[in-house]
Structures are given as C-alpha cells and as structure tokens.
Chain A
C-alpha cells in the first residue's frame, strides 16, 4: 500500500525558509485522482491544512499563509515538497505529508498520512 515519509531539517532559524520533502512509496505519485497535501499541527493544538498539488499540477494554498508557502512535485523521484518562507516561532509544528482523495475542485479525505516531522523554529 502507499506510504509517505517526510524528511528535512528539524530546526530552522527565524526568518529563514523551511523546506521539507515527502517521499511516496508503494505507488506512483502521478497515478489516480489524488492530491498531495501538507498539514501541520502545533504541539497540543489542532490540524491546519497548508496546501495541495493535484495530479494534473493544479495547486491550492491555505489563504492564511498568504504568499509564504510553495508546494511542488518531482514525479521522477516520486516526491513532493513544501517550502515555507519567513518562518517564525508560530510555524513550529509537526508537519505531515498526506495523500488526499477528491478531484481538482474538492478535497475529500486524507489517507494515508506520513509519520510526521517536528520542525522547530528557533535561533
């Protein structure tokens, strides 16, 4: 079955760029009608959807992050990535990469999830 695994630095300095990669195994990132998404969760808090890239390349971002977030895909490596610029302590969270069902308009369900990676923003 499809599995996802996040990778990247666990510590980022304030004002710098957070960069994470998600490697997909057990299936092709280009097959099926799925979106590849990023969701984060600050310690002790709820879930926040960051954005998604659909199989066709269509991209949507959470408006609350304005222009700070970028999601891209490298189909040759079966990976997709997240970049979050100008980070502050408020961006400290566990970041999950997740496959989402639905279509180009709708995000329906989220499954499976990566194990998550804790990213701390601190000098």
Chain B
C-alpha cells in the first residue's frame, strides 16, 4: 500500500478537464509545498509535470496545473488530448525518515 493515496483510474473525453487527487497527511502533503507530479507513458521513464504544488517546467503544456488544499494535492488537465493518456504519480517530501513518498499512480484514459 502506497503512502500517498491516488485514485486507480480516471477517464475523460477529448477536450474535457479531469482532476487527479493525491491525499497524504500533515507530515507530507499538508505540511509542505513540496508536491510534484509525474507522467509516465508505457515503457517510458516518468516525466516531471508539476513541482512545488503548482509550478510547471517551461517545457510542459499550460493545460497541466496543480493545486493543494489541506492534505490533498490535485493535478488538473484541461483540454484533454489523446497524448495525455498515461499513468500519473504524485510525490511529496515527508518529514519522517522516509524522506520521499509516492502515490500508487492513476491511469488516465482518454475516451
């Protein structure tokens, strides 16, 4: 069982928006602004999409955005495209000696 909780799957139609949640505790997600999100296509390495809750690397489309409320962080993808179909993982710094936590991953299906 992963320390951060994500839904196993989400789906949406092209052009729609979807949100993926990532729930932790006050020792990780809720206590620090060190949440990041990764996109992974089959057979490929993960790719950083969002860091520090809501910051986006310049190479990432502005259709991707991040936010946080309490112990839950969220990744929103607007204007869904077929190429967005992938697995998405959240990660957070934790003040425990584990240092880093990952979510179990969410499979996004573009219908």
Contact = CB atoms under 8 A, between A and B. Distances in A.
Interface of A: 46-49, 52, 60, 62-64, 96, 101-102, 106-116
22 contacts: A46-B102, A47-B38, A47-B46, A47-B105, A48-B102, A49-B98, A60-B99, A62-B100, A63-B97, A64-B98, A101-B51, A102-B34, A106-B93, A107-B100, A109-B34, A109-B91, A110-B38, A110-B91, A111-B48, A111-B57, A113-B47, A116-B45
Q: How many interface residues does chain B have, given as a range?
A: 20 to 34
Given A108-B36, A111-B57, A96 B45 contact: yes
Nearest to A115: B45
B24 interface: no
A61 B97 CA distance: 9
Contacts of B34: 102, 106-109
Contact of B46 (A48, A49, A110): A110
A103 to B, nearest CB: 10
Contacts of B104: 46
Contacts of A108: 34, 36, 51-52, 93
Given A110-B48, A111-B47, A116-B45, 10 more contacts: A46-B103, A63-B98, A102-B34, A106-B93, A107-B93, A108-B51, A108-B93, A109-B91, A113-B45, A115-B45
